[in-house]
Amino acid sequence: MWKFKEFDRLTTLELFKIYKLRVNTFVVEQQCAYPEIDDKDLQSIHIFDWENDDVLNYARLIIDEPVHIGRVIVAPAQRGSGAGRILMEKVMNYIETHHSHTPLHLQGQAHLHDFYASYGFKAVSDIYFEDMIPHIDMERPAFKAADQF
* Domains parsed from the chain with CATH numbers: 2-140 (3.40.630.30)
pLDDT tens digits for range 88-124: 999 999 999 999 999 999 999 999 999 999 999 999 9
> If 0-12 CB within 10 Å is exposed, 13-18 middle and 19+ buried, where does residue 45 land?
buried
Q: What is the pLDDT of residue 148?
A: 55
Q: What is the pLDDT of residue 90?
A: 98
Q: Other C-beta atoms within 10 Å of 77: how many?
A: 10
pTM given for the model: 0.93
Q: What does the pLDDT average to over 57-69?
A: 96
Q: What is the pLDDT of residue 15?
A: 98
